[in-house]
Structure 1
Amino acid sequence: MIDGTALTRRGFLAGCAAATGTLVIGIASVDDASAVEEASSDGRRQYGFLCDMNKCAGCKNCVDACRDANHLSERTADRRRVEVYMNSRSNNVYVSTSCMHCADPNCLRVCPAGAIKKGDAGIVSVDVDRCIGCKYCFQACPYGVPRYNEVAMDKCDCCLGAGVAPGETPHCVQACKFGALQYGPLDDLRAEAESCGARPVPVGDAGNPSCLLIGERG
């Protein structure tokens, strides 16, 4: 939790570069919202998440649902995290994020074992049998996402390992009782938000992350 941290894009990138795993979310600018790619590298539609900060109550139901559905061990860090920040009006807002499933993932490019792939719906997943535990992906990820357990690197795979088909709704979104978390094609998520008068922006610039934010409660 980072109380007292203003929501700025530069602060977000600086926080990630420090490899703390915390997020300082940039919503001050909306000019580069179109920077998020709408298609994965193989031409399929890019799916992703949208978090509405006006609705997120910080209950962490999404975190618990993710852990339960994916049977994460006690030595495995949360795949989804809910952080609290201070907005421009000095009010706390909550942000739920997981792997960004970037259009151009750094983790994939640096993995020497070929353990990381970008597949259907643009989902970035890990083959734990090929992971050698070198931690290059952790060092390369600008969002501090990859974590390690007793087996290999672990991260969100949109519940592929829990039996959810690519493009179907992950358990974290199903568990959100406030409607703060959505999942779907990025262009559809953006269009729906804009039709309601919101201005969605990506959480950052690096890698073209597939995670959008709307709202600034206060």
Structure 2
Amino acid sequence: MECGGSIIAPGWVLTAGHCVSDDLNPKNYKVKAGVFDEAKSDEEAEQVVTVQAIHLHPDYHAHPPHHDIALIQLSTPLTFDEHTQPVCLPKTDDAQLTAPGDLWVTGWGTFREGGDLLSRRLRQADVPIVDPTTCEKEYRRLLVEEVEFCAGKPGVDSCQGDSGGPVVSQADSGSWFQYGIVSWGKGCAENHWAGLYARVSPFCDWISTTTNSTVQCQDVL
């Protein structure tokens, strides 16, 4: 499975649990960073590193995914430059996850439900927050509000191949914070079926513990 992820430290990548849950052998994975055109293998900024360990959240539930988060520990640290940078993680998210929000999702996923061609180039979409009451009606009590949220509108959504990628918003300070991880949903960009995203802030303690305090969530300023 090809998935997205986000760099949260030189040696750590954040992704969705369902991207790795079927195979926790780190030897079967590589991480590419600094990529724009995924089809190319000679981009000047591209970095490819092997994986030392995969850490799946202990409460991960597969069908449908809940606590859908995992950490990838890299064998060698990434080099930060103008194409490869870490994203900040927020201590809290209530203000940012209030409709309509100002969230952006990125990835190399397919253009439509059931499509078999991934996007060659990194794409982005501005996905509006869907309030929990509306999302509950759409997904019939499948939403676990404590650890996930809904976002998107007809014609604007993440899709297959975007899983594990970040949902971010820019703070007043100019820093980008990651509030969600592409998780699951019914179809892509359909009416009455928003995308579901794992929240990041509820997992701050687990992230800190797993990374031996290398990664800490921050106040959003």
TM-score (norm 1): 0.24
TM-score (norm 2): 0.24
More helix by share: 1
Q: More relative contact order in 1 or in 2 (CA 8 Å, sep 6+)? A: 1
More strand by share: 2
